[in-house]
């Protein structure tokens, strides 16, 4: 246990993680990386231990930082103290300016996905911050720069996926920004609902000046998560793309696809979002409009589903053209209800995709700056986190809450 705070998982120095917690996190990591290919868990523990033996530890003291976290599943957010490691040679340190509230955060906060061992939990993986310190080996940042941190903060760096700029698919286990076994400090990582963060330079991106910083945070998860499939499946100008679910991820998918010149249809269950969808340049369709759904059969080159809970996915598979793909980026649990015959007749594919690599994350941030693609956000103070979470669950946000960390 850390001797500077009462949080049992904030372990000072190199103390090993509680084995029970480690097992829980292996399960959690397995859930997250399951779509990437099954039994990847075996290497996680070993890699996590081995990766740091060569990391020189600084003599600089760790720092106690205020965070807004959750003591147990379903508990309200409250101010708490966490430790940030001393800046290592490859690290940068940020004063966090803005942190988005992603629906994944809420799954963790509520204890969905069997993540019961992750509390106290400090979520947040859409982070914009100002650099206040850099390690000796840092080349891409200097004090005063603005940096973004997304869903991951480390990976092995040596496996074939890491070497191919796919750190999110690390074969030895990606270290996610929160509730993930920390390769450097031990214990579990803490996310962006906090005042400061220390992160390896490789896992931070440069934020161009053209971006409105208050609106940039959601690019770090919602933006890259929807940009990556458009790149991989090569969405082109004039092609027809469907976006299923128009929340934080979905509205970024719409904006990014419109920016590419695609013909975008957005499927929502919320009639109140129709005017905003039209204003973004897409055609809105309500899920329960059976006639509209029927008319759109076999017409899409690509579909991206951002819906974060189980739903009737086959009705959207039916909208794909021959050989087209529906990419699921929102629903990380079991997917039921696919019809093999209908998939076969249309030679249709269902694919998964999870965030994007660091090079691609820099690419989407630059792309948003160049094409003026800016998330729609509602700024809140840290003391409004609980209220914001309720509103996300009620689909009452257009389209992303962002915590203004400098505001009280």
Helix (H, G, I), strand (E, B) or coil at 120: coil
- Residue 170 touching Zn ion (CB under 5 A): yes
- Residue 328 touching Zn ion (CB under 5 A): no
Residue bearing tokens 């003591």: 71
Q: Each residue of 171-206: b (16+ CB within 10 Å) or e? A: bbbbbbbbbbbbbbbbbbbbbbbbbbbbbbbbbbbe
Q: Which residue lies nearer to Zn ion by CB, 86 or 162?
A: 162
Q: Are 191 and 140 in contact (CB under 8 A)?
A: no
Query: Least distance to Zn ion from the beta carbon of 339, Å?
Result: 30
Indicate which single residue of 51, 82, 84, 104 sits in contact with Zn ion (rule: CB under 5 A): 104
Query: Least distance to Zn ion from the beta carbon of 123, Å?
Result: 9
Q: Which residue lies nearer to Zn ion by CB, 2 or 217?
A: 217
Query: Least distance to Zn ion from the beta carbon of 225, Å?
Result: 7
Query: Least distance to Zn ion from the beta carbon of 178, Å?
Result: 10
Query: Least distance to Zn ion from the beta carbon of 152, Å?
Result: 11
Site for Zn ion in 214-253 (CB under 5 A): 221
> In this chain, which stretch among 98-106, 128-136, 138-146, 396-404 interacts with Zn ion, using CB under 5 A?
98-106
Indicate which single residue of 17, 29, 77, 162 sits in contact with Zn ion (rule: CB under 5 A): 162
Question: Total residues at the site for Zn ion (CB under 5 A)?
Answer: 9
Indicate which single residue of 159, 303, 327, 402 sits in contact with Zn ion (rule: CB under 5 A): 159
Indicate which single residue of 80, 87, 156, 280 sits in contact with Zn ion (rule: CB under 5 A): 156
Residues 116-155 as x/- pattern, contact with Zn ion by CB under 5 A:
---------------------------------------x
Closest CA to 302 of 363, 360, 361, 348: 348
Q: Which residue lies nearer to Zn ion by CB, 168 or 384?
A: 168
Rounded CA-CA distance 112/228 in Å is 26
Rounded CA-CA distance 111/105 in Å is 10
* Bridge partners of residue 302, in order along the sequence: 241, 325
Indicate which single residue of 29, 102, 258, 259 sits in contact with Zn ion (rule: CB under 5 A): 102
Query: Least distance to Zn ion from the beta carbon of 332, Å?
Result: 11
DSSP 112: G
Q: DSSP string covering 184-237, please? A: TTSSB---SSBSEEEEEGGGEEE--TTS-HHHHGGGGTHHHHHHHHHHHTT--T
Q: Which residue's beta carbon is nearest to the bound Zn ion?
A: 102
Q: Given CA atoms 307, 309, 312, 314 in this order, what sign does their dihedral have?
A: positive
Rounded CA-CA distance 396/399 in Å is 8
Instruction: Read off the tokens for 367.
Output: 């792309």
Query: Least distance to Zn ion from the beta carbon of 27, Å?
Result: 19
Site of interaction with Zn ion (CB under 5 A): 102, 104, 155-156, 159, 162, 170, 172, 221
């Amino acid at each position: 246990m850390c001797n500077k705070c009462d949080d049992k998982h904030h372990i000072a120095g190199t103390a090993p993680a509680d084995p029970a917690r480690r097992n829980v996190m292996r399960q959690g990591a397995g859930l997250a990386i399951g779509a990437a290919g099954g039994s990847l868990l075996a290497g996680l523990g070993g890699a996590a231990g081995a990766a740091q033996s060569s990391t020189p530890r600084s003599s600089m003291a760790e720092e106690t930082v205020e965070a807004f976290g959750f003591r147990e599943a379903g508990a309200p957010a409250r101010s708490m103290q966490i430790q940030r490691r001393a800046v290592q040679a490859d690290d940068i340190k940020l004063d966090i300016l803005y942190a988005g509230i992603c629906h994944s955060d809420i799954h963790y906060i509520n204890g969905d996905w069997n993540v019961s061992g992750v509390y106290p939990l400090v979520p947040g993986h859409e982070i914009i911050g100002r650099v206040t310190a850099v390690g000796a080996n840092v080349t891409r940042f200097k004090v005063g720069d603005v940096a973004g941190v997304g869903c991951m903060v480390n990976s092995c760096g040596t496996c074939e996926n890491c070497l191919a700029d796919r750190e999110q698919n690390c074969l030895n286990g990606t270290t996610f920004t929160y509730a993930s076994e920390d390769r450097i400090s031990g214990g579990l990582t803490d996310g962006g609902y906090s005042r400061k963060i220390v992160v390896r330079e490789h896992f931070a991106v440069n934020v161009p000046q053209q971006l409105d910083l208050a609106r940039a945070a959601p690019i770090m998860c919602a933006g890259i998560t929807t940009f990556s499939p458009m790149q991989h499946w090569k969405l082109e100008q004039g092609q027809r793309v469907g976006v299923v679910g128009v929340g934080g991820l979905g509205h970024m998918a719409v904006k990014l696809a419109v920016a590419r010149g695609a013909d975008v249809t957005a499927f929502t269950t919320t009639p109140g979002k129709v005017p905003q969808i039209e204003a973004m340049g897409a055609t809105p369709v309500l899920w329960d409009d059976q006639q509209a759904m029927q008319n759109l059969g076999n017409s899409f080159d690509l579909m991206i589903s951002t819906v974060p809970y189980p739903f009737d996915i086959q009705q959207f598979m039916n909208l794909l053209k021959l050989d087209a793909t529906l990419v699921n980026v929102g629903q990380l649990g079991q997917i039921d209800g696919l019809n093999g015959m209908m998939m076969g007749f249309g030679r249709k594919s269902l694919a998964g995709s999870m965030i994007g690599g660091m090079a691609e994350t820099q690419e989407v941030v630059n792309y948003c700056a160049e094409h003026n693609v800016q998330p729609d956000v509602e700024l809140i103070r840290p003391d409004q986190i609980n209220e914001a979470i309720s509103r996300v669950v009620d689909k009452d946000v257009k389209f992303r809450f962002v915590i203004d960390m400098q505001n009280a």
